[in-house]
Amino acid sequence: MDYQPVELDDALENDLRQLVRLSIAEDLDVAVDWTTVTMIAPERRGACQIVPRGEGVAAGIALAPWIVDEFDADLDVEVLIEEGASLVPGKPVVRLSGSARDLLTSERVLLNILSRMCGVASLTQRYVNAMAGSSARLYDTRKTTPGWRRLEKYAVRCGGGHNHRTGLFDGFLIKDNHLALGRGSNGSDPLTAGEAAKRAVEMRGASVDQLVAPSMVEIEVDTLQQFEQVVTTGIDICLLDNFSLDDLRSAVARRDELGVKVELEASGNITIDTIAKVAATGVDRISSGALTHQATWLDLGMDWFDG
């Protein structure tokens, strides 16, 4: 019972290639790398290594060949580390050799993408380590950089986290704004959490205009009273938004007392300092937008050598 994880697949490759094309356009526009063309002879060959300057977690390293391919570069790419492995300062993660011009022109795009993804994975691992010893699982959110959704979610997985829904298309997630703007079957305003949950459960897997509705149903609740309305409706996940630690424990106890199979997800202002206490309440899942919107880049550099 979970959302589809982001994999190293065709969808991820497609997103990456679109991003690389945009990055190439930003750097070259409709011209060339004038500095490199002026300074470097076309026959000049070279070799370099991408090297982390600090500790962290590898993510996106396996994508380096796709990035180079999108440049149509005359380069050989050797990936030296597995995704999710620990980065050691000074120890190379990718080795490239070939056209010196292509090495220089593709350098910044390679480093930008890999640095961002390693940064997300490294922060995710810190959160995972902070909640070690609990049975709760850590999830990302849709608070991602536009255009980077799959890449950042893939990086979260490299850091030991799990993926929440990829977009609006692959799961029901009823939030407070849906309740505020929706209407009940009797025309009441606003829509109650209980009726909203039942409506989504009934729509699960239905065919609409040749499209099939998703199977996962999740609803966000703000109070224990709303939780009571939805816990026995057949939903898959109940998101407990900004609950106190005491209320989280109460929701877990009530779910267990009723014997229903619904996973409980804590969310809202989850930080590296609070996540262990939240995990200790017995919730099954914790989601945090900080994994992506608070992640900083991991410093990666390109070191030249005689190849």
Residues recognised as catalytic: 108, 143, 175, 220, 241
Q: What is the C-alpha separation between 100 and 110, in angstroms, rounded? A: 15
Reduced to 3 states (helix: H, G, I; strand: E, B; else coil), residue 72 is coil
Residues 132 and 118 sit within 8 Å (Cβ to Cβ): no
Of 191, 194, 197, 165, which Cα lies nearest the Cα of 179?
Answer: 191
Dihedral sign for Cα 29, 32, 38, 41, please. Answer: positive
Say if CB 137 and CB 285 are below 8 A apart: yes
- Rounded Cα distance, 147 and 150, in Å: 8
Query: 241 near 222, Cβ under 8 Å?
Result: yes
Tokens 């829904």 locate to 165
Terminal Cα-to-Cα distance of the chain (whole angstroms)? 49
Report the alpha-carbon distance of residue 115 to residue 255 in Å, rounded: 42
Task: Tell how strand 263-267 and strand 237-241 pair up.
Answer: parallel
